[in-house]
Amino acid sequence: MSGETADRLVAEVSAHQPSSVLDIGCGWAELLLRILRACPGAVGHGIDHEHRHIERARQNAKQRSLLDRLSFATTLADCEPHDLVLCVGSEHVIGSRSEALRSIRPLVRPGGRAVFGTLFWQEQPLPHVLEDFGELPELEQLISQIVDLDWIVERRSVASFSDWDTFEYGFAADWEVEPGRISDQAAKYRAAYLERRGVLGFVNLTLTRSDG
């Protein structure tokens, strides 16, 4: 997501002043760190099995003086319920989309929230794009599936072109040969991205439990 979208999401979830935030598949935990900065009393727990991501998260947290409010683990085992649970682009950490939505529910304290970010088809994909990403719902099917799993959708935010461009070009920038000169790998990645731009959708859904 772009910086502005992240700021808006952080402001919205922080307005409820969560005291504890769980980030499932946190990567280097940028969203979690921004929420902790906005909620001075909160503690955060990140889950990721990639030690290099957690190390990068720790370095970033240290620079922002947030390290003492953070803990990390490689699995969800023995995880307690939290006021806010993030699962953004990470449902596969748990399993299928519906398995993730079922498993996240008891991890959200009554009255708390989940932010669930997931893919959907915005337009009919080309056959090879469909092959790469597999079957995905359309947005309204996705929302129905989530409501059927006993969640209330409080807010939805569909990724804009600007969000996607920031994410995809930023991702490929890691393969820059030198500033401004990209590798063949990055060039191929960007060409593939342009074929799915406006076709593959991503939505961040803020969810509350239907039982409270």
SS3 188: helix
The one-letter amino acid code at 100 reads A
The site map against ligand SAM for 47-66 (x = CB under 6 A) is xxxx--x-------------
CB of 205 closer than 8 Å to CB of 153: yes
Q: Where are the alpha helices (DSSP H) in 3-149?
A: 3-14, 30-38, 51-63, 97-104, 127-133, 139-148
Smaller CB separation from ligand SAM, 20 or 166: 166
The site map against ligand SAM for 6-35 (x = CB under 6 A) is -------------------xxx--------
Q: Which of 22, 61, 88, 108 is the binder for ligand SAM (CB under 6 A)?
A: 88
Q: Where are the alpha helices (DSSP H) in the chain?
A: 3-14, 30-38, 51-63, 97-104, 127-133, 139-148, 161-173, 184-196
Q: Counting contacts by CB under 6 A, is residue 115 touching ligand SAM?
A: no
Place of tokens 């989309």: 97
First to last CA, the chain: 29
Smaller CB separation from ligand SAM, 93 or 129: 93
Q: Report how far residue 111's alpha carbon sits from residue 84's, in angstroms, rounded to the nearest whole number.
A: 10
Q: Which of 89, 145, 149, 156 is the binder for ligand SAM (CB under 6 A)?
A: 89
How many separate helices (H) and strands (E) can be counted in the chain? 8, 9
Q: How far is the CB of 52 from ligand SAM (least distance, A)?
A: 9
Smaller CB separation from ligand SAM, 62 or 92: 92
State the number of binding residues for ligand SAM (CB under 6 A).
13
Place of tokens 């935990």: 29
Smaller CB separation from ligand SAM, 104 or 147: 104
Q: Which of 197, 192, 126 is nearest to 164 (CA)?
A: 197
The first and second tokens of residue 60, run together, are 């970033």
Q: How far is the CB of 211 from ligand SAM (least distance, A)?
A: 26
Smaller CB separation from ligand SAM, 83 or 163: 163
Smaller CB separation from ligand SAM, 49 or 147: 49
Q: Which of 93, 107, 130, 143 is the binder for ligand SAM (CB under 6 A)?
A: 93
- Residues of the shown chain interacting with ligand SAM in the complex, contacts defined by CB under 6 A: 25-27, 47-50, 53, 88-90, 92-93
